[in-house]
Amino acid sequence: MHAHNVYFSLKDNSAEKIAALIADSKHYLAPIAGIESFVCGVPEPESVRDVNDRDFDVALHVLFTSKATHDAYQADPQHNVYVERNQDNWEKVRVFDTMVK
């Protein structure tokens, strides 16, 4: 299995812009073929501990059966539309790809 975790810090992190990114994530990314699990959200407000990294506004957690399905997702036209629609508001994007068992 391949886990693809993406953490977005936004230039405009208003509630409206966060909601718009989450809506676009669900609309454009979640339906892409090959996804086993797709969830997205915001930092848990009650998880404020020294070990919690809270340097993000929106997180995506996507699970694929293989790296090949992940690579196909990256090349999917819907993924490209998503990036084009949203990248201007991305201050920082951190990606953590993990082989999971």
pLDDT digits (tens, 9 = 90+) for 8-18: 999 999 999 99
The per-residue pLDDT for range 19-57, each reduced to its tens digit, is 999 999 999 999 999 999 999 999 887 777 776 777 899
Q: Enumerate the domain spans of the chain.
A: 16-44
Alpha-carbon distance of 43 to 53, in angstroms, equals: 9
- Locate the DSSP E strands across the chain: 2-10, 35-41, 58-64, 90-99
Alpha-carbon distance of 19 to 12, in angstroms, equals: 12
Note the pTM of the prediction, 2 decimals: 0.92
Both tokens assigned to 23: 């809506």
Q: How confident is the model at residue 60 (pLDDT cuts 50, 70, 90)?
A: very high
Alpha-carbon distance of 10 to 19, in angstroms, equals: 12
Give the model's pLDDT for residue 52: 74
